[in-house]
Amino acid sequence: MPVLRSLPRWLACCGVVVTLAAAPGVVEAQNPPLYLTPRLLTVFPCGGKAGTEVEVTVSGSDLDEASDLYFSHPGLKAQRVPVPDKPGEFQPNKFRIACTTCG
């Protein structure tokens, strides 16, 4: 009879050890990164004349379907460049940048 009394405790301890051993892998598998961090590596051409518009191509990592460029200077504005003869479609990673109040 003493063996039967200690058997449930022994099984419960084994269950806790197995659960704790499996928990770290489960927790990591449930928390993938929510968003990829885009990294802007190059902008070509890298400059333009004040008061004009410049068409630039950007490249980097995780820039798939980049739709906007944001600037710290309020006078810089960017628009996506449309694909010729295909309304509603835009060239990937190409933007037209206008500098209205630069200088």
Lowest-pLDDT range of 66-70, 85-89, 99-103? 99-103
pLDDT at residue 38 tops 60: yes
Q: What percent of the chain has pLDDT over 70?
A: 66
Instruction: Give the residue-averaged pLDDT of 13-36.
Output: 54
Q: Which two tokens stand for residue 4?
A: 């039967």
Check whether 79 has a pLDDT greater than 50. yes
Using alpha carbons, list the distances in angstroms from residue 33 to 3, 9, 18, 63, 66: 49, 39, 27, 16, 19
Radius of gyration of the chain, Cα coordinates, nearest whole angstrom: 29
Closest C-alpha among 74, 69, 65 to residue 55: 69
Domain boundaries, the chain: 1-32, 39-99
The alpha carbon of 99 is separated from its chain's Cα centroid by a whole number of angstroms, namely 27
Is pLDDT above 90 for 54?
A: yes
pTM of the model: 0.61
User: Under a CB-based contact definition with an 8 Å cutoff, are residues 98 and 51 in contact?
Assistant: no
pLDDT: which is higher, 21 or 98: 98
Peptide bond into 82 cis (omega under 30): no
